[in-house]
Chain A
Amino acid sequence: MLGPSIAWYLGVAAFLFGTGALGVLVRRNPLIVLLSLEIMLNGANLALIAFSRHAANGAGQIFALAVMAVAASEVCVGLGLVVALHRRRLALDVDRLSELRG
Chain B
Amino acid sequence: MIAAYSAGGALVWIVWVVAGLACLGSGVAVVSFSNPFFSALALIGNLGSLAVLYLLLSAQFVAAAQVLVYAGAVMVMFLFVIAYVGPRSETPWSGGPSWQTIGAVLAAGAIFLEIIVVIALKAGNRLAHTDHVNGTFGSPGWIGRLFLTDHLLAFEITSIVLLVAAVGGVILGSHTKRADEEASA
Contact = CB atoms under 8 A, between A and B. Distances in A.
A25 B104 contact: yes
A55 to B, nearest CB: 6
- Chain A CB within 10 Å — which of B20, B27, B28, B58 has the most? B27
B137 A56 contact: yes
A68 B66 contact: yes
Interface in B98-150: 100-101, 103-105, 107-109, 111-112, 115-116, 119-120, 123-124, 127-128, 130-133, 137-138, 142-143, 146-147, 150
B85 A82 contact: yes
B18 interface: no
A68 B9 CA distance: 30
A49 B61 CA distance: 11
B172 interface: yes
Interface residues of B, number: 93
B151 A16 contact: no
Report whether over half of chain A's contact residues are helix, strand or loop; otherwise say mixed. helix
Nearest to B105: A22
Interface of B: 5, 8-9, 12-13, 15-16, 20, 23-24, 27-28, 30-31, 33, 36, 39-40, 43, 46-47, 50, 53-54, 56-59, 61-62, 65-66, 69-70, 73-74, 77-78, 81-82, 84-85, 88, 90, 92, 100-101, 103-105, 107-109, 111-112, 115-116, 119-120, 123-124, 127-128, 130-133, 137-138, 142-143, 146-147, 150-151, 154, 158, 161-162, 164-166, 168-173, 175, 179-180, 182-183
